[in-house]
Amino acid sequence: MAIHCDVAVLGGGTGGYIAAIRAAQAGKQVVIIEQDKLGGTCLHRGCIPSKALLRSAELYAQMKNSEDYGIASSEVTLLYPKVQQRKQAIVDQLHKGVQALMRKNKIQVIEGRGRVIGPSIFSPKSGAVAVELNNDEMETVVPANLIIATGSRPRTLAGLQPDGVSVLSSDEALTLEELPASILIVGGGVIGVEWASLLQDFGVRVTLVEAADQLLPSEDGEISRELRKHLERRGITVMTGVKVLADTYETTKQGIQISVQNGEKNERLEADKILVSIGRQANVENIGLENTDIALTKEGYIRVNEHMQTMEPHIYAIGDCIGGLQLAHAASHEGLIAVGHMIGETSHTYAESQVPRCVYTRPEVASVGYTEQDAKKKGRNTKTAKVPFAAIGKALVQGEKEGFLKLVADADTDDLIGVQIIGAHATELIAQAALAQLLDATPWEIGQAVFAHPSLSEIFGEAALAIDGRALNL
């Protein structure tokens, strides 16, 4: 007997389970289908485990430098198995939390792999999802509305398939039982630079190779140069504009060897392991899209409109499988928009310019809205202000005076259109910039706010004043 429900969600990652909760709160009967573990990439292979490792790495680096704060410590020892245990305990705790949320909201969880076999119950094809249960039985779910939230997986380079030993993707890197002495990281996007920062803090010799001419290719050029400067100062070898020639890869007694094309010349690089972090690929295969009129973009993501509807109006898609900003908070927000549209509530809208983009390196990078370069490309007249953390008392107190905040405004309308930060706690500080973007605040209005002293937040107020030549501490 098929299971009939109001809403079925295919994929229980951050996007899927948040959408399921919202639909249940609206009184819908909800079924969520997950082939692996509720929480998806973010909880099990992404945000949470990587940040748990980063926290240990940062603490280890700080403890080794504690004399800077007047504290002499005896030898600091890294216990990597304990670092891994701590990470796993956090993941397990949050996983239990998501399971409890499903129970609390009376969401039926089906453990298995789902495949769409028709677009909707209103269509002649009789919309339904066939689920191959984890116990090998079959189940059919017939929803009035379906949300596809199947996420993404690491993109691979032909010739460099992850084997979990010498060639890793971020999935395998997270579960290493021992750290290598050296690593070559291919790809200087968010995942690549985070791994470079954390592994170097743990004492691994890191070479980071990026094909574009800057790290974090879609971020502000000045921010990217500043990040590179800090990573290099910490001992990471950074190569940009350099292409890894995957077909030259060889395993040797020492580890791996591979050639890279650096301008006109080829160089041979050696390391114990190689980590491929060249982006993510949408999970859109084998989920039955061919049984529907759902279209893909040319980049291979599910095409949706502003309400997250696919070409089949009763089927929505959200999260990494639709591309755009592949971030957990973007996925969950898209889930709220999809459910909002289904239930006739339109309070949630989605604008990429309001979504913070965070990079958990040391120092951290965070941004929201346009970079100066993007705004100019769009023909906007810009004015900017840049305030260094060194001008902020709390940053000196913390011993974290590296970096700066950059504020971008439209010179014609005076609207705030972007904020970029590199420095301590940038990923927390960006929240106030995102709120200002949402509320359409102008720098003048931000400058009227009272910022606690001493606090790192003062940098935001100071930049808002500085943009109109009214800085008080510069």
Beta carbons of 146 and 8 less than 8 angstroms apart: yes
Which position has the token pair 């929505």? 316
Closest approach of ligand FAD to the CB of residue 439, in Å: 22
Closest approach of ligand FAD to the CB of residue 378, in Å: 25
Between residues 14 and 371, which has the closer beta carbon with respect to ligand FAD?
14
Interaction with ligand FAD in 301-320: which residues (CB under 6 A)? 319-320
287 sits near ligand FAD (criterion: CB under 6 A):
yes
d(CA 22, CA 33): 16
Alpha helices (runs of H) in 309-454, residue ranges in sequence order: 328-342, 372-377, 393-398, 426-438, 443-448
Binding mask 166-205 for ligand FAD (x = CB under 6 A): ----x--------------------x--------------
d(CA 48, CA 60): 19
Closest approach of ligand FAD to the CB of residue 437, in Å: 17
Which position has the token pair 């803090």? 201
Pick the binder of ligand FAD from 109, 149, 336, 433 (CB under 6 A): 149
Closest approach of ligand FAD to the CB of residue 421, in Å: 16
150 sits near ligand FAD (criterion: CB under 6 A):
yes
Q: Is the peptide bond before 454 cis (omega within 30 degrees of 0)?
A: yes
Between residues 132 and 468, which has the closer beta carbon with respect to ligand FAD?
132
Q: Is 453 a catalytic residue?
A: yes
Q: Is the peptide bond before 180 cis (omega within 30 degrees of 0)?
A: no
Buried b (16+ CB within 10 A) or exposed e, 296-312: beeeebbebeebbbbeb
Closest approach of ligand FAD to the CB of residue 12, in Å: 5
Beta carbons of 127 and 22 less than 8 angstroms apart: no
CA torsion 155→161→164→168, rounded to 10°? Answer: -50
Decide the pairing of beta strands 242-251 and 256-262: antiparallel
Decide the pairing of beta strands 280-282 and 152-154: antiparallel
**Token digits for 8?**
């079925």
For 463, left (φ over 0), alpha (ψ -120 to 50), or beta? alpha
Closest approach of ligand FAD to the CB of residue 22, in Å: 13
Between residues 114 and 447, which has the closer beta carbon with respect to ligand FAD?
114
DSSP string, 290-338: GGS---B-TTSPBP--TT-B-SSTTEEE-GGGG-SS--HHHHHHHHHHH
Closest approach of ligand FAD to the CB of residue 180, in Å: 17
Binding mask 10-49 for ligand FAD (x = CB under 6 A): xxxxxxx----------------xxxx---xxx--xxx--
User: How many residues touch ligand FAD (CB under 6 A)?
Assistant: 36
Pick the binder of ligand FAD from 273, 314, 329, 362 (CB under 6 A): 329
At how many degrees (to 10) do helices 458-466 and 426-438 cross? Answer: 50
Which position has the token pair 């239990």? 96
Between residues 44 and 401, which has the closer beta carbon with respect to ligand FAD?
44
Pick the binder of ligand FAD from 86, 95, 113, 383 (CB under 6 A): 113
At how many degrees (to 10) do helices 47-64 and 80-104 cross? Answer: 140
Decide the pairing of beta strands 416-423 and 404-410: antiparallel
Beta carbons of 384 and 408 less than 8 angstroms apart: yes
Decide the pairing of beta strands 30-34 and 3-10: parallel
Closest approach of ligand FAD to the CB of residue 232, in Å: 23
356 sits near ligand FAD (criterion: CB under 6 A):
no
Between residues 51 and 234, which has the closer beta carbon with respect to ligand FAD?
51
Stretch that binds ligand FAD, among 6-14, 222-230, 308-316, 448-456 (CB under 6 A): 6-14
Between residues 47 and 433, which has the closer beta carbon with respect to ligand FAD?
47
Interaction with ligand FAD in 406-465: which residues (CB under 6 A)? none
Q: Say whether 220 sits in a helix, a strand or coil.
A: coil
Between residues 31 and 231, which has the closer beta carbon with respect to ligand FAD?
31
Between residues 172 and 374, which has the closer beta carbon with respect to ligand FAD?
172
Pick the binder of ligand FAD from 283, 309, 382, 420 (CB under 6 A): 283
Between residues 120 and 169, which has the closer beta carbon with respect to ligand FAD?
169
Closest approach of ligand FAD to the CB of residue 458, in Å: 26
**Active-site amino acid positions:** 453
Q: Which residues bind ligand FAD (CB under 6 A)?
A: 10-16, 33-36, 40-42, 45-47, 50-51, 113-114, 149-152, 170, 191, 283, 287, 319-320, 326-329, 331
